């Protein structure tokens, strides 16, 4: 019997948006189960295979609510591999400050909190989930996401990346003043490039506009940088594919994430597209001051 069944394990920090994420998977036609004990995953997989295509894409929310049973997840995933069933991990993260605020706003109790000490519970949860995060095919930092933005991110990645043997390259521009994206595999600082922010006639524009692109690209240092950087990326990408990565995130940062990083991210994305790789482009901080 052909095992055309795939599992997506939705996990991550409490308060990072797993409930919203699973609703997004439902909209994509996934069969979703929340808080399934990990030991039951192989049995569930057998039932899915026997459904003869009626249940082929499955999203399971697995997190620390499972208590001591949560630690059975790794052995359950190994069992899926032995059965020849594909599985991928989506890890949702957020900054400590955002998680604390969300718990206070909703008045929910953190599953690990004792005597209301939320921040200590978050730190403990990060430690418990660290090995699982390392195995994630996709990490999403929801700190600055609305529910709709999270839905779009999941749809972009999972709806358009059905062929998991093809690596998806995600390029993110950002501002260092707002923090480095937590899901970045490669981080590049382009604050050495001439900054159009200090040109009064250019300050209000963004890197998506021709005036800024022209300004950043006209300097000798910029052209030498492109000459050195793009071949490096071209060298690295096939090696990441060989290593088995399904998603590579390249973060390009400048001071505010509005000018230089946007120009570089745009040009890098065009280069990656030219090399026939699947890609996503996101300007995280372009609308911030």
Kind of pairing, strands 57-61 and 6-12?
parallel
Alpha carbons 4 and 1: distance in angstroms, whole number: 9
Tokens representing residue 246 in the block? 């399904």
Q: Radius of gyration of the chain from Cα atoms?
A: 21
Angle of helix 73-82 versus helix 41-50 axis, rounded to 10: 30
How far separated are the first and last CA of the chain, in Å rounded? 56
Per the document, the length of the chain is 289
Say which residue the tokens 């400050």 belong to: 97
The residue among 187, 178, 172 whose CA lies nearest residue 281 is 172
Instruction: Kindly state whether residues 39 and 147 are assigned to the same domain.
Output: yes
CB atoms within 10 A of CB 289: 7
Instruction: Kindly state whether residues 179 and 135 are assigned to the same domain.
Output: no
Structural domain range at position 68: 6-164
| pLDDT tens across the length of the chain (289 residues) | 445 788 999 999 999 999 999 999 998 889 999 988 898 999 999 998 888 778 889 999 998 887 777 888 989 999 998 998 888 899 999 999 999 998 888 778 888 877 667 888 899 999 999 988 988 888 899 998 888 888 888 887 776 555 444 678 999 999 999 999 988 999 999 999 999 999 999 999 999 999 999 999 999 999 999 999 999 999 999 998 887 777 899 999 999 999 999 999 999 999 999 998 888 899 999 988 6
Phi first, then psi: give them for residue 146, nearest 5 degrees. -85, 170
Residue that terminates a domain, selected from 164, 187, 218: 164
Instruction: Kindly state whether residues 154 and 175 are assigned to the same domain.
Output: no
Per the structure, how many domains does the chain have? 2
Instruction: Kindly state whether residues 184 and 233 are assigned to the same domain.
Output: yes
Tokens representing residue 264 in the block? 């570089």
Residue that terminates a domain, selected from 164, 184, 209: 164
Query: What pLDDT, on a 0 to 100 scale, did the predictor assign at position 247?
Result: 81
Determine the Cα angle at 88 with ends 110 and 32, to 5°. Answer: 60
Say if residues 261 and 175 touch (Cβ distance below 8 Å): yes
Instruction: Kindly state whether residues 93 and 150 are assigned to the same domain.
Output: yes
Instruction: Kindly state whether residues 182 and 149 are assigned to the same domain.
Output: no
Instruction: Kindly state whether residues 108 and 13 are assigned to the same domain.
Output: yes
Q: Note the helical H segments in the chain.
A: 18-27, 41-50, 73-82, 96-106, 118-134, 147-154, 160, 210-217, 220-243, 260-274
Instruction: Kindly state whether residues 104 and 221 are assigned to the same domain.
Output: no
Query: What pLDDT, on a 0 to 100 scale, did the predictor assign at position 1?
Result: 41
Model pTM?
0.65
- 168-175, strands of its sheet edge to edge: 186-189, 247-254, 168-175, 278-283
Q: Domain of 102: which CATH number?
A: 3.40.50.300
Residue 134 resides in a domain: yes
Tokens representing residue 104 in the block? 């206070």
């Amino acid at each position: 019997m052909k095992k055309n069944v795939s599992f997506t394990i939705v996990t991550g920090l409490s308060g990072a948006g797993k409930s919203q994420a699973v609703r997004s998977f439902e909209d994509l036609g996934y069969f979703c189960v929340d808080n399934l004990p990990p030991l039951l995953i192989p049995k569930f997989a057998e039932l899915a295979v026997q459904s003869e295509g009626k249940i082929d894409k499955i999203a399971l929310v697995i997190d620390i609510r499972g208590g001591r049973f949560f630690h059975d997840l790794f052995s359950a995933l190994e069992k899926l591999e032995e059965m020849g069933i594909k599985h991928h991990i989506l890890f949702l993260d957020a900054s400590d400050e955002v998680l604390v605020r969300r718990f206070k706003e909703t008045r929910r109790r953190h599953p690990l909190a004792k005597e209301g000490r939320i921040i200590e519970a978050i730190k403990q949860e990060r430690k418990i989930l660290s090995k699982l995060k390392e195995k994630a095919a996709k990490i999403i930092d929801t700190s600055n996401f609305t529910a709709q933005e999270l839905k779009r991110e999941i749809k972009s990645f999972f709806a358009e990346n059905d062929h998991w043997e093809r690596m998806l390259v995600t390029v993110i521009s950002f501002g260092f003043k707002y923090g480095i994206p937590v899901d970045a595999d490669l981080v590049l600082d382009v604050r050495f490039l001439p900054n159009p922010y200090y040109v009064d006639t250019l300050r209000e524009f963004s890197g998506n506009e021709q005036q800024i692109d022209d300004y950043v690209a006209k300097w000798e240092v910029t052209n030498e940088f492109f000459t050195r950087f793009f071949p490096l990326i071209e060298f690295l990408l096939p090696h990441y594919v060989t290593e088995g990565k399904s998603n590579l995130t390249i973060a390009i940062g400048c001071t505010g994430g509005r000018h230089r990083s946007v120009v570089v991210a745009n040009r890098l994305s065009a280069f990656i597209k030219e090399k026939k790789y699947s890609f996503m482009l996101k300007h995280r901080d372009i609308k911030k001051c």
